[in-house]
Chains A and B, each alone.
Chain A
Amino acid sequence: MTGRSPALVAHPIIEVNDVSKWFGDKVANSKLTCSFGQGVTGLLGPNGAGKTTLLRMLAGLTQPSDGTITIDGLDPRGHTKLFERIGLVPEEDAVYEFLTARQYVTYAAQLSGLSEPAQAAADALATVQLAESADRKLGEFSKGMKQRTRVAAAITHRPDILILDEPLNGTDPVQRARLIALIRSLAEGGATVIVSSHVLAEVERIADRVLAMTNGRLAAAGNIEAIRAAMTDIPYRVRVEADDLRALGALLIGHPLITSVTIDRVELVIETNDLGTLGRDLPRLAIDSGIRITRFQPEDMSLEAVFGYLEKRR
């Protein structure tokens, strides 16, 4: 491969350079090099992959044991002014339970130095559809409502860098859809948004770009299709339905593009390393042999399938 690594972006806002983090003899992150720019980057990985540790370092909550992290060239731990631009929703389900939602978000606005914190808090609460519950104590809130309050506190100062650690935890499907729309709209407005999740479908819906982590290391980077395409050692699996499965199977065995062919009841399961060429060649082959193909379905383009492969490779 030549040129820039897919872990790096063309116009980086946040740069992670050879960063490792360990706690005693436990390594949480190992030699990570990546960058983040405008748009939504999904940080994907199973629990314990090191996502939260990386996000905490990006936000300046913890410092790397080795390597450097910069935001617009500055170390976030030494430049608190940078926090005017950063909003964080940490993973922990933590709020000041003795405050109302309005007091909590207003407190966030005051700490961010806003000139009209009450108005900013009201706007942020309205954005997450909590205006009507704003004067209830947070201790009385459901998990999803607390989560939305924390998102409101993170966006009240309109940050251009938003770090969200498992932001959809505890939300119901309607709230989730709204939060995803909100995250997307912030990104479309020019913000750099980093969203971590272990739920693949969530990341697939939110992110333009994915950094996949396993065991504290970067396992893959890029958009989903590009990551899949880069995994040349793992064949694509395609399900094909046709009027004469046996004839089509016999035709494909020994074909240079095909690594395996299996008949599975009413369909043919084909594995290939070159999905694009197969997609072009197969219809022609079928027509030439008088076989009618009724369905051609690559089954593993989903992030889940990609991540399944990455997990197996670690």
Chain B
Amino acid sequence: MTAFASIVANTLRGFLGGRRSWMLLALALLPGLVQLIGGLARGSAISSQLYEEFSTQVLFTLLIPAVAITFGANAFGEEKRGKTMAFLTLRPVSRWTIAGAKLAAAWLGASLVGALGAVFAAFALGVGSGQWTEIVPGVVGAGLSALAYSAILLPIGLVMKRATLAGLVYLLLVEQFLARNVEQFSNLSPFRIGTSAYAGLSDFGRVVATFEITNGAVAAGAGGAALKAAAVAVVMWAITGFALRELDLV
């Protein structure tokens, strides 16, 4: 196993291991479960309504950002708190590789949780209303949103003790307030990266319409969203690699 792969594997083991995995699994499956119960009890209209008003909202505004923020912030934050930075960095592995592996681990972990939730919710929609088109948009949207969030929090977690809190404040202040009201901010919003990708790929008009209202000035489209997420990831990876080279690591 290469150093990159072993850092990814061990970081993911820390994020998803033990009881935590069950809690994350439960959180991911909850929206779909509610929707499934609602759909089975009250029919397809309720299933669609719950998907639009509940599942996608919970997943994209809350669950994916919170998990990606926590994983991004803790990718290095846990190493610093646990005082294991020396173990990780005093190896013949370039700082860029370490930064890249940590980003990949945070992204994969958050994407896994987000995509699982999105797939299950889309599955519940299919069962409840016969609309089976939302799996791919959900997975792509979750993956891109998770990438942007975890990338932004990666260097913050390296330099700040309370990075998770900072991330949540960012989520509430920038996403919920600034990006909603100021056009320039909405283009930089990781949340809207995910929802614009979703809206660009989805055939489900009601959800697309809801997301287009939320997205404001951000046009729907998976290609643009993927580019933005990739650009954010590259910039943040570079900042983190540079910080690992230049900062004291204990």
Contact surface of A with B, Cβ cutoff 8 Å: 56, 59-63, 77-78, 80-84, 86, 88, 90, 92, 94-99, 103, 107-108, 110-113, 117, 153
Contacts and interface: CB of A to CB of B under 8 A. Distances in A.
A84 B92 contact: yes
A84 B93 CA distance: 9
B223 interface: no
20 contacts: A61-B85, A61-B89, A61-B248, A63-B248, A77-B245, A90-B250, A92-B83, A94-B84, A96-B14, A96-B84, A97-B82, A98-B13, A99-B13, A108-B87, A110-B3, A111-B3, A111-B88, A113-B91, A113-B93, A153-B87
Interface in B213-250: 245, 248-250
Given A80-B92, A86-B90, A107 B10 contact: yes
Interface string B67-101: 00000000000000011111111111111000000
Contacts of A112: 91-92
Nearest to A87: B90
A110 B89 CA distance: 13
A99 B10 contact: yes
A107 B10 CA distance: 8
B6 interface: yes
A81 B86 CA distance: 15
Interface in B94-144: 94-95
A119 B88 CA distance: 20
A114 to B, nearest CB: 10
B83 A96 contact: no
A126 B124 CA distance: 53
Contacts of A98: 13-14, 17-18
Contacts of B90: 59-61, 83, 86, 88
B11 to A, nearest CB: 10
